[in-house]
Amino acid sequence: MMAARPDVAALRDFGNRRESMTRWRFDWSTREKLVPFCFLAPSFAALAVVSLYPMAHALFISFHADGVGSVGRFVGLEQYERVLSSDYFPRVMRISVLWTVGNVMFVLAAGLATALMLDRNFPGRALARAMFILPWAMPYVAAGLIWGWMFDYEFGVLNYVIRSAGLGESKVGFLLACPDALISLTSVSVWKLFPLGTVMFLAGLQTIPSDHYEAARVDGAGPVLCLWYITLPGLRNVTIMLTLLITIWTFGRAFTIIFLLTEGGPAGCTETIVIRSYLEAFKFFHLGAASAIGVIVLLISLAFSIAYLAYAYRREVSGG
Amino acid sequence: MKTVLSRVAVAAALLSSLALPDPARAADITWPSHQWGEANNAPVMLELKRRFEQENPGNTVQNITVPQAVFFDKQFADIAAGNPADVATMYDPDIRAYIEADLLEPLDAYYAAAGIAIDTLIPTRTLAQKDGKIYGVPFQINARALFINERLLNEAGLQPPRTFDEFQAAVRKMRQPDKVQFGYATVSKPGNAAVFYIEIAPIVAGFGGGFFKDGKPNATAPETVAAMKFIKSLHDQELIPRGMEINAYRQLFIEGKVGMYATGAFFAASVANGNKDTFAHLNAIPLPLPRGKTTAITVFLGVPKAAKNKDLAARLLIRMLEDDIQTRIVTVGKTVPGRVGMIPESFVADNKWFKAFEQAALTATSYAPQGAEQYGAEIAKIVVEHIEGMLFSGLSADEAAQRLQKALDAFIASKRKT
């Protein structure tokens, strides 16, 4: 059987067409550069609709007078001036900072402690690891409702345990007094967030070479010295990343647990800036003021985000 | 090319004609509400929907149930976005705020067409009026009276209290910590300013006080301070369930663990559904507080200006004021309806507890701050923060009242400035 002869004319025609196509299309290297953007485009479009547009609109509203159903008149920076000079602003900022610092400190401490524990070999380690992750997996609303009942003054299990264990005769108003309410809320938030710290610290611990510990032990270092001179420096990068992440999350999202358990009370002592923004918008119908507060929160969170990204970039460049 | 363009133009014209509302065309009236999910109100609203759809063939009412926890936020978000439903549900302070923001359609023409005189509506209708126009339909008024569990009173050897002293004695005598039993329940949980304010408002009014009078702060008036002292004494002596959420202590009443609770008539339906024994021993009396006054929450329905089916929605709401639906609001909804004189005598005869609410509805004032109703939510927040300070931070009632007065004065001054 004879092999079919190639149709030279057709091939030439195909080559010409291809050439003419590449004349008006991008060349190979440009196309290669464009490909990542094409993949990113759908995500960017989705983000633009659900995130960037609302942000831009909030910024737009923050320069206008309060209006419902229509945007009020342009007032420039008046809303910002009013928010920053209000009686409540220093209070809600102080509470937000306390809330954030409390969360960061205790998430780091609890996360590190549990990570060190779970890094050791012991029977049932896998089960223990899974159990420590559970609070993180629990939805915020469910956690809030459960803790609300646990803190309850009349029927709460915590008061029952305190009395049964002989730790006190009078009941504790976990959510009924200042600063008890803020401490209680912080503890719930830390309970919910510390597994994130545990997971990140555990990952960090795996990267510390075991021969460092062996060498230290040969030199006579005990567990405390090992922790101080090997573990903590080895976890420096993780600690910085985690600090920035928890700061961004807790400052900008100081809402769900607080709203579920105290709604900013008693007497405003758990009212964070995010809670205030919600109240201004949905309870007092001050959309301009609420948007201005939102933009202020965004700017503060953005500062931490830039710090986080700068650190992450520096780490990537240095290969750390 | 021309053909293509002309086809596109025709298609666009057809599409736009479909998108534009035609007044003569049948419509879906959108009515989202938390009340569609309430055992006492849902049957009444469904009856109104059924009858309206029968009388207006081709038009439908969309009953959209929204949980109460998110309803008012969602409604506000929809209105703020310029995309409201056809029917809006508002309580006392909110309707004033909505009217002041020019968000509601006046309904005078519809009242006139239905032959319903405005002065036949319950007294709190004035909240829906501005400059001679009315912007809402009062669905129901929940004037506050005191529900009592006669079984608990009998066990304590007591009669229903008629004076303030008898009331105080009953609160003390029915309190049994070992049985987790309370003589009286009211709010003592910080946080939700609206709920807190609604719950303490009838107590303050019962002493003849009020946080506002004729648009001016009134926190240091002796009557208001006396009411604050009473609230503090209940809290400090643990005579009320402390730190408990409203639904939790309502449930305690239903379960027969609370002797007395001041709220609206609607609560009877929850008791009837929740515990037959408590319902069998249920009675209600006017609040036995020194001045005998009380407050009310009125549920108003209105038509947002930006609604798509304003005319039909307004007709639907006015239909609610016809005798048949008004009667069902009483007999099925177990609440006082928007029109005076619509309560069947036979219903009151069969439900002795209802009498107190019928009387209260005629004299009760709105719980919204008098003369400053449009700032209700902000004022409630300021008031509640100070009451919480008194209850949870050891502040005396006098000192809390002084600080509250100062804060309210500053608030009103800031409003005058803007």
Is pLDDT at B16 greater than 60 in this prediction?
A: no
Give how far the C-alpha of residue B7 lies from the chain's centroid of Cα atoms, to the nearest Å.
Answer: 55
Amino acid making up residue B164: F
Helix (H, G, I), strand (E, B) or coil at A114: helix
Domain presence at residue B152:
yes
Output the pLDDT for position B17: 46
The answer, yes or no, to whether ipTM is higher than 0.95 is: no
Is pLDDT at B299 greater than 80 in this prediction?
A: yes
| Residue B80 to residue A176, Cβ atoms within 8 A | no
A284 contacts in chain B (CB < 8 Å)? 377-378, 381
Q: Among B344, B361, B378, give the residue marking a domain's end.
A: B361
**B308 and B257, same domain (yes or no):** no
Across the interface, which of B76, B194, B243 has its CB nearest the CB of A153? B243
Across the interface, which of A67, A263, A287 has its CB nearest the CB of B192? A263
Output the pLDDT for position A33: 87
Domain that holds residue B336: 28-141+297-361
B244 contacts in chain A (CB < 8 Å)? 152-154
> For the ranges A176-180, B42-46, B211-215, which has the lowest average pLDDT?
A176-180
- Largest distance between two CA atoms of chain A: 104
In the block, residue with structure tokens 């006015």:
B318
Q: How close A181 gets to chain B, by Cα (Å)?
A: 10
Output the pLDDT for position B18: 45
Say which CATH number the domain at B188 has.
Answer: 3.40.190.10
**B40 and B134, same domain (yes or no):** yes
Output the pLDDT for position A314: 85
Amino acid making up residue B397: A
**B122 and B185, same domain (yes or no):** no
Query: With the C-alpha atoms ordered B389, B395, B398, B403, is the resulting torsion angle positive or negative?
Result: negative
Amino acid making up residue B380: A
Q: What is the pLDDT of residues B364-410, one digit of tens each?
A: 999 999 999 989 999 999 999 999 999 998 899 999 999 999 999 99
Domain presence at residue B14:
no
Give B176's DSSP letter. B
**B281 and B402, same domain (yes or no):** yes
| Residue A173 to residue B72, Cβ atoms within 8 A | no
Question: Average pLDDT, stretch B85-98?
Answer: 93
Output the pLDDT for position B261: 97
**Could you tell me the residue ranges of all domains in chain A?**
24-57, 81-143+178-318
10-residue mean pLDDT series, chain A (320 residues)? 62 65 70 90 93 93 86 92 94 96 96 94 89 90 93 92 84 90 96 95 94 92 93 92 92 90 92 95 92 95 89 77
Q: What is the pLDDT of residues B341-365, one digit of tens each?
A: 999 999 999 999 999 999 999 899 9
Report the share of chain B in percent with pLDDT over 90: 83
**B67 and B161, same domain (yes or no):** no
Output the pLDDT for position B47: 96
Amino acid making up residue B403: R
| Exposure string for B182-221, b = 16+ CB within 10 A, e = fewer | bbbbbbbbbbbbbbbbbbbbbbbbbbbbbbbeeeebbbbb
Q: How many domains, in total, are found in chain B?
A: 2
**B40 and B83, same domain (yes or no):** yes
Across the interface, which of B97, B241, B388 has its CB nearest the CB of A266? B388
Q: For the domain A81-143+178-318, what is the CATH superfamily, name and number?
A: MetI-like (1.10.3720.10)
Give B216's DSSP letter. E
Token pair, residue B130, equals 């501005």
Q: Among B361, B378, B401, give the residue marking a domain's end.
A: B361
Domain presence at residue B20:
no
**B150 and B186, same domain (yes or no):** yes
| Residue A87 to residue B384, Cβ atoms within 8 A | no
What span, in angstroms and rounded, lies between the C-alpha atoms of A66 and B80? 11
Output the pLDDT for position A32: 86
| Residue A283 to residue B386, Cβ atoms within 8 A | no
Output the pLDDT for position B3: 55
B378 contacts in chain A (CB < 8 Å)? 283-284
**B275 and B301, same domain (yes or no):** no
**B253 and B399, same domain (yes or no):** yes
Q: Which of B405, B382, B395, B401 is nearest to B236 (CA)?
A: B395
**B106 and B217, same domain (yes or no):** no
**Is the Cβ of B393 closer than 8 Å to some Cβ of chain A?**
yes
Domain presence at residue B382:
yes
Domain presence at residue B171:
yes
What span, in angstroms and rounded, lies between the C-alpha atoms of A228 and A215? 15
Across the interface, which of A68, A265, A284 has its CB nearest the CB of B190? A265
Q: What is the pLDDT of residues B153-182, one digit of tens each?
A: 999 999 999 999 999 999 999 999 999 899
Query: If you measure CA to CA, which chain A residue comes closest to B101?
Result: A68
What span, in angstroms and rounded, lies between the C-alpha atoms of A66 and A288? 5
Q: How close A188 gets to chain B, by Cα (Å)?
A: 17
**Is the Cβ of B191 closer than 8 Å to some Cβ of chain A?**
yes
Q: What is the pLDDT of residues B105-143, one digit of tens each?
A: 999 999 999 999 999 999 999 999 999 999 999 999 999
A287 contacts in chain B (CB < 8 Å)? 80
| Residue A266 to residue B391, Cβ atoms within 8 A | yes
Query: With the C-alpha atoms ordered B76, B82, B85, B90, is the resulting torsion angle positive or negative?
Result: positive
**B54 and B148, same domain (yes or no):** no
B77 contacts in chain A (CB < 8 Å)? 282
Question: How buried is residue B130: exposed, middle or buried, by Cβ count under 10 Å (0-12/13-18/19+)?
Answer: middle
Across the interface, which of A69, A87, A175 has its CB nearest the CB of B80? A69
**B244 and B274, same domain (yes or no):** yes
**Is the Cβ of B399 closer than 8 Å to some Cβ of chain A?**
no
Model-wide pTM > 0.95: no
What span, in angstroms and rounded, lies between the C-alpha atoms of A244 and A238? 10
| Residue A153 to residue B377, Cβ atoms within 8 A | no
